[in-house]
Structure 1
Amino acid sequence: MGAHPVRRWLRSERPNVRADVVAGLPGAISSVPDGMAAAVLVGVNPIHGLYACFAGPVAGGLSSSTRLMVITTTTAAALAAGSALSDVDPADRPDALILLTLIAGVAMILAGVAKLGRYTRFVSHSVMIGFLTGISVNIFCGQISALTGAQASGGFALAKAVDVVTHPARIDIPSLLAGLGALGILAGLSRTRLAPVGALVALVVPTAVVILAGADSVARVEDVGEIPPGIPLPDLPNLSLLSFSLVTGALAVAAIVLVQGSGVAEAAPNRDGSVSNANQDFIAQGVGNLAAGFFRGQPVGGSVGQTALNQTVGGRTRWAPICAGLWMLVILAAFSGVVGVVAMPTLAAVLIFAAVGSLRLGELKTIMRTGHTSQIAIVSTFLATLFLPVAAAVGLGVTLSLLLQLNQEAMDLKVVELKPAGDGRWTEHPASERLPSHQTIVLDVYGSLLYAGSRTLGAKLPDPAGAEAPAVVLRLRGRTSVGATFVKVLADYAAALHTAGGRLYLSGVDHGLAELLRRTNRVDVSGPVTVFEAGELVGESTEKARHEAETWAVAHRTNTPDQ
């Protein structure tokens, strides 16, 4: 009896399963050059990229909430991994890569379990575009040497590219022709129906020409290392290679993958209308990395290009990316021996073409026109990505995003004066710089009151100096949590009002905030400060505060001898 529901489910899903199996094949074929090229960025045998293109989509696809997202190699993650392993001995790099991938996977799973998905929105769009633009330029410059067959020296990718250009005698003509031929194929097929397999054609055709021409000067994949035949087997990490730089590099990879994955989820909504869960996708990408690491692969993440291809070729459910991974396993079993003869300049061409294609010139122009804050963010992150290790650039980008967020919140804070218009309505006016004597004003605040915002509030509140017996009603409706800085600013302003013989009234105060003010003992809510807690009727507590303030002001004027 238990088998009947299974059979019914299989019958109902048969059209989807057939479509997903078919959709997985072009995804696997296009992953061959992508995976190999990603491994080149890391500086390891291209077979490690192919292993990741098998394990990542299968393991990640089983657990992702964004069902069409393909979790596979990405150029940004590969470049970050390569930067983290740059000081590792080439003989130890494959083992170190496995360890780095596993650590990154654990970090992603922990981020998902801790529900850190909501914090990806704090990474500024300007910072992310600056970082991705820097990644693209680094890939372009870093592959000039492989494209031309020239030896290059330099501390970073741009310096190596300049070294090749300034020493043209080092260029190997057969290598250059093979690379340019691959670029020509990529450009020619990019706007045709063969675009999904364009990269594969760009590897095969120039490589065949190189072999037939006997151009032995052209580097081959097998020159990087021996290509193991057959399918990958699980392997355990070498913990002796664990180091601080490896851990920080893995965390940088995790940060890049998680932010990129969030963008992929937005671009590939579920067909059934269900909402993706960022934290579940974090976990899925972590699981994909654990699988990739155990099968001797490199870091993986939500791929924009592969996910878009999955949608284009008709993928319907999570089984489409899973089938792509299984098709890759078939390709490895049948053709892994052929991988070694691929000409390295063709892989460089694939990376250069992808790097140029990923430049978002329209978004760059828009960001550069939106003001100094965005300009500083994008330029700083771009330059950091060019000249610093990727881990440092990621850390700088995240820090810069948070600083810009705080700075913008502080700059956006605005204090306005509210004047009653009758029938419980208010009109809004710019707040004056100084308080008038023997009068009541009602103030409202727009913007964040955390940290710098509180200090900005203190600077923008009307100055009580020189005034006699001023009364201020400060509206705080909707403020449920504040920090110590706000409490200090409030206490200082209340003290300044008290010195001028005035009083401070707080209206619309949340009950929890009122209790916090009482506990701090910094604000005397039983003396110079009166608190009116918020009620269900908007504006009611403010009207009560204004009425009491004016009653106090009238009584004070009556009791003042010179009035």
Structure 2
Amino acid sequence: MKIKLLHTLKNYDRKNLIKDIIAGIIIMAVSIPISMGYAQIAGLPAVYGIYGSVFPILAFALFSTSPQFIFGVDAAPAALVGSALLSLNIELGSDEAIAAVPVMTFFVAVWLLAFYFMKAGKLVNYISAPVMGGFITGICTTIILMQIPKIMGGSSGTGEFFELAEHIYETLKHANIPSVIMGVIALVILLVSKKLIPKFPMAVVLMFAGTIITLNMPIRDWGINTLSAVEPGLPKWSIPDFSIISIQQTITISLSVAVVIMAETLLAENSFAQKNNYRINDNQEILAFSVGNFMAAFTGCCPINGSVSRTAMGEQYQAKTQLTGIVAGLSMIVLLICGTGFIGYLPIPILTAIVISALLGATEFDLAARLWKLSRTEFLIFVGAFLGVLLLGTINGVLIGIILSFTEMIIRTSKPSRCFLGIQPGHRHFRDLKEGNQIHAIEGVIIYRFSSNLFFANIGVLQRDIEDSIKPDTKAVILDASGIGSIDITAADRLAMLYKSLKEKGIRFYMTEHIAKVNEQIRTLGLGYMIEEGRVRRTIHIALKDMGIARPYPLEGGIENEERSASRKRADNKVQEFVWAFGAESEEQIEKQIVLQIQQLKKTGDIEKLFHGSWSHMDAFDEDEWLEHLEEHLKEIVNISGKDEKSIATRFEEHRKEIHERIKNEHPEMAERFKKRRHILDEHLRQRHPEVFNLIEHLRESDDSN
């Protein structure tokens, strides 16, 4: 396993230097209140939160392949460790807690290292975009709810939605008005500046402004809280005391924390990566998590996690590489050595507003709005992941997200794309029978395409489709397995039953077009006799040849199928191409092309080009349908050309007769079908443009009388 160090600093672009440095300093500043608060939740003195923002963040920056993600003391691991201490009857903030927490952190790092060697990062590939979006939005919303009481002069909340809501309500009863005013003004300034001057580092300006206000005004007397002063000095390095708590208990607790760190951080990292169009190495990220937590363990800190709030802050101020994390870590060292006095002058409402502003920018409610319009199923998956995190916490949110992703995948694969294939007279390629009425099934043969891996959840669909399509004259069923990459044992057993059932009815069953690897599975799953009996063939054409059916293939309904020579020019089937490409919008798209033709007529005035310039790459049937669309613009063509209605309408009818003659000559057996189709097109014209239809009908009656 090749490890790349300082991956995001390779070929560094100097134009990003100022942005990375400014973002790093801002992240250092906002990390102070966040880290101190979460350290206390984990059962440690507040200063250990700042310690956790030094060496772990530097180690992560060294190993990470994400250009923007930031490591630090965060909510979920802190809450898990804090609750674990209480379950072990260890008082939060006590000397025993200070000794026990690094032991848990060490084993978290060990578990993460084990996940790295197991290449567990691949699991994130099974998490869909709606789950990622719902997950990250749930985390952001949860942290925002945790932070809101601090603006009102209270303490940060803990727990899930209902606990947070209760804490906000209780804090609201005793809210400090000056604190609320300061926090709300700061938040409004940040949100407005983000819209009007997004590149301006307003957070830095507000922090300096808050410090000046503290120095010059009695804000503490007004009840506005500032950060607690911190003793200067770097964290001390030491090996955790493994005798302080039971190793068995520690291993169990640390496993759950490690899983949360891996899942939450990888999901968040991939969410940011997708949004900003870059890729990360999931497995090396797990190694970066492990190394960062080893640094935390040896400096006495609680487990460290990827921080959505700090990353969102970096994104807001255009951080481009992990130099941002390095600057944040180094500037925290400078602060701890010679600037801890500055910490005590930072107003908490302003710092909280900075955090909330960044988190609002990281939510993905816009994705939810898109999903509502595009796919209600995926919208519900987004909501499920969002509510899972918000109501049940990160661990359960991760589990719900994974379950939703796998459920979505199973639902999709249990309803695969499939169709029955036929061929167009004079052509060689098999196409969906529903593409158009010019595609016809081969006489006595069912060709069925199934576009999904075959497994227990969708084999019933294949079996039912084929059995329902059997007719009295069916001689063979050919499965186009080009979309099948694997078969499970349940599918193999049902396939064997289908094969036997068709054989008893005297119907041959062929499997074709699949990759060679599927043949290995067929033999392993006990279906090797299909290969031995010649029922597994490389292509549909070979399967048909094995039945004694050669080109040109006989089509249902006695339609002739003359094989065209390689030198003969084939039609491009323009109308069919529109139907295939645009589906329900095909009528609208054809109309757009007609409008373009008429605009060209305005420029050239060449009426003959309108009838002959666009037809050279169309089949006769398609040309007739295109002509019907053009006919609807008869009055407009008359106005542009300066000719009278009768002469233009006559020209339409003459061209239609030319088309009819070509059809009779090339495919006489289809001439009758053309008449029926002509009646449908005429009815369509009569309903939409009765005046044009009446004129055309009058001309036909005149021709008939002559």
Partner Cα distance (2:427, 2:481) in 1: 21
* 1:73 alignment partner in structure 2: 72
TM-fit CA distance, 1:414: 1.7
Deviates more, 1:362-371 or 1:238-247: 238-247
TM-fit CA distance, 1:310: 7.3
Partner Cα distance (1:20, 1:30) in 2: 15
Partner Cα distance (1:437, 1:189) in 2: 67
* 1:252 alignment partner in structure 2: 260
Relative to structure 1, is the Cα distance of residues 246 and 523 closer, same or farther in structure 2, using a 3 angstrom cutoff? Answer: same
* 2:487 alignment partner in structure 1: 482
Relative to structure 1, is the Cα distance of residues 217 and 351 closer, same or farther in structure 2, using a 3 angstrom cutoff? Answer: same
Q: Is the 8 A contact 1:481 1:513 kept in 2?
A: yes
Residue 231 in structure 1 maps to residue 234 in structure 2: yes
Relative to structure 1, is the Cα distance of residues 464 and 17 closer, same or farther in structure 2, using a 3 angstrom cutoff? Answer: closer
* 2:27 alignment partner in structure 1: 30
**Paired residues for 1:367-516 under 5 Å:** 367-419=371-423, 424-430=428-434, 439-463=444-468, 467=472, 470-477=475-482, 479-516=484-521
**Paired residues for 1:38-57 under 5 Å:** 38-41=35-38, 43-44=41-42, 45-57=45-57
TM-fit CA distance, 1:397: 0.7
Partner Cα distance (1:511, 1:169) in 2: 71
Partner Cα distance (1:496, 1:125) in 2: 42
Relative to structure 1, is the Cα distance of residues 454 and 361 closer, same or farther in structure 2, using a 3 angstrom cutoff? Answer: same
| Secondary structure of 1:472 counterpart | strand
TM-fit CA distance, 1:344: 4.2
Residue 85 in structure 1 maps to residue 81 in structure 2: yes
Residue 62 in structure 1 maps to residue 62 in structure 2: yes
- 1:147 aligned to 115, 134, 151, which one? 151
Q: TM-score, normalised by structure 2?
A: 0.63
TM-fit CA distance, 1:471: 1.2
* 2:664 alignment partner in structure 1: none
Q: Is the 8 A contact 2:151 2:179 kept in 1?
A: yes
**Paired residues for 1:207-246 under 5 Å:** 207-208=214-215, 212-215=218-221, 217-222=223-228, 227-237=230-240, 239=242, 240=245, 242=250, 244-246=252-254
TM-fit CA distance, 1:494: 0.9
**Paired residues for 1:184-223 under 5 Å:** 186-187=190-191, 190=194, 192=197, 193-198=200-205, 200-201=207-208, 204-205=211-212, 207-208=214-215, 212-215=218-221, 217-222=223-228
Relative to structure 1, is the Cα distance of residues 198 and 499 closer, same or farther in structure 2, using a 3 angstrom cutoff? Answer: farther
Relative to structure 1, is the Cα distance of residues 263 and 389 closer, same or farther in structure 2, using a 3 angstrom cutoff? Answer: closer
Relative to structure 1, is the Cα distance of residues 157 and 85 closer, same or farther in structure 2, using a 3 angstrom cutoff? Answer: farther
**One-letter code aligned to 1:73:** G
Partner Cα distance (2:212, 2:458) in 1: 61
**One-letter code aligned to 2:517:** G
Q: Deviations over 1:498-539 (max 9, x none)?
A: 23232211122433322332233256326777112x3xxxxx
Q: Is the 8 A contact 2:58 2:326 kept in 1?
A: yes
| Secondary structure of 1:452 counterpart | coil
Partner Cα distance (2:226, 2:500) in 1: 77
Q: TM-score, normalised by structure 1?
A: 0.77
TM-fit CA distance, 1:428: 2.0
Partner Cα distance (2:265, 2:385) in 1: 17
Q: Is the 8 A contact 1:27 1:306 kept in 2?
A: no
* 2:590 alignment partner in structure 1: none
**One-letter code aligned to 2:76:** A
Q: Is the 8 A contact 1:448 1:454 kept in 2?
A: no
Q: Deviations over 1:270-290 (max 9, x none)?
A: 8xxxx7544334433432333
TM-fit CA distance, 1:306: 5.3
| Secondary structure of 1:461 counterpart | helix
* 1:546 alignment partner in structure 2: 544
The CA RMSD over aligned residues, in Å, is 4.0
Q: Is the 8 A contact 1:27 1:309 kept in 2?
A: no
Relative to structure 1, is the Cα distance of residues 298 and 334 closer, same or farther in structure 2, using a 3 angstrom cutoff? Answer: farther
* 2:560 alignment partner in structure 1: none
Q: Is the 8 A contact 2:135 2:385 kept in 1?
A: yes
Q: Is the 8 A contact 1:490 1:523 kept in 2?
A: no
Partner Cα distance (1:113, 1:268) in 2: 28
Q: Is the 8 A contact 2:453 2:487 kept in 1?
A: no
TM-fit CA distance, 1:485: 2.6
Q: Deviations over 1:44-83 (max 9, x none)?
A: 55534433332234212223344x4353238xxx232244
In structure 2, list runs of 5 or more residues that go unmatched. 1-9, 87-91, 436-440, 551-706
**One-letter code aligned to 2:530:** V
* 1:7 alignment partner in structure 2: none
- 2:526 aligned to 517, 521, 524, which one? 521
Relative to structure 1, is the Cα distance of residues 93 and 17 closer, same or farther in structure 2, using a 3 angstrom cutoff? Answer: farther
Q: Is the 8 A contact 2:313 2:358 kept in 1?
A: no
Relative to structure 1, is the Cα distance of residues 55 and 426 closer, same or farther in structure 2, using a 3 angstrom cutoff? Answer: same
Partner Cα distance (1:194, 1:106) in 2: 39
TM-fit CA distance, 1:230: 0.9
| Secondary structure of 1:143 counterpart | helix
Q: Is the 8 A contact 2:111 2:254 kept in 1?
A: no
- Which protein has greater RCO, CA pairs closer than 8 Å, 6+ apart? 1
Q: Is the 8 A contact 1:441 1:473 kept in 2?
A: yes
**One-letter code aligned to 2:33:** M
Q: Is the 8 A contact 1:48 1:298 kept in 2?
A: no
Relative to structure 1, is the Cα distance of residues 97 and 227 closer, same or farther in structure 2, using a 3 angstrom cutoff? Answer: farther
Relative to structure 1, is the Cα distance of residues 228 and 504 closer, same or farther in structure 2, using a 3 angstrom cutoff? Answer: farther
Relative to structure 1, is the Cα distance of residues 39 and 406 closer, same or farther in structure 2, using a 3 angstrom cutoff? Answer: farther
| Secondary structure of 1:477 counterpart | coil
Relative to structure 1, is the Cα distance of residues 209 and 49 closer, same or farther in structure 2, using a 3 angstrom cutoff? Answer: farther
TM-fit CA distance, 1:165: 3.6
Relative to structure 1, is the Cα distance of residues 114 and 247 closer, same or farther in structure 2, using a 3 angstrom cutoff? Answer: closer
Partner Cα distance (2:165, 2:455) in 1: 46
**One-letter code aligned to 1:125:** A
Partner Cα distance (1:117, 1:421) in 2: 52
- 1:136 aligned to 109, 130, 140, which one? 140
Q: Deviations over 1:206-252 (max 9, x none)?
A: 65467x34428555543xxx844311122444552626354213311
Q: Is the 8 A contact 1:104 1:299 kept in 2?
A: no
TM-fit CA distance, 1:328: 2.1
* 1:331 alignment partner in structure 2: 335
Relative to structure 1, is the Cα distance of residues 97 and 465 closer, same or farther in structure 2, using a 3 angstrom cutoff? Answer: farther
Q: Deviations over 1:70-124 (max 9, x none)?
A: 53238xxx23224423523323666665455545544554444444545423212
Larger radius of gyration: 2
Partner Cα distance (1:437, 1:185) in 2: 71
TM-fit CA distance, 1:548: 1.9
Q: Is the 8 A contact 2:134 2:382 kept in 1?
A: yes
Q: Is the 8 A contact 1:182 1:202 kept in 2?
A: no
Q: Is the 8 A contact 1:450 1:486 kept in 2?
A: yes
* 1:288 alignment partner in structure 2: 292
Partner Cα distance (1:380, 1:157) in 2: 14
Partner Cα distance (1:328, 1:167) in 2: 31
Q: Is the 8 A contact 2:136 2:268 kept in 1?
A: no
Percent of aligned pairs sharing the same letter: 21
**One-letter code aligned to 1:24:** I
Q: Is the 8 A contact 2:108 2:303 kept in 1?
A: no
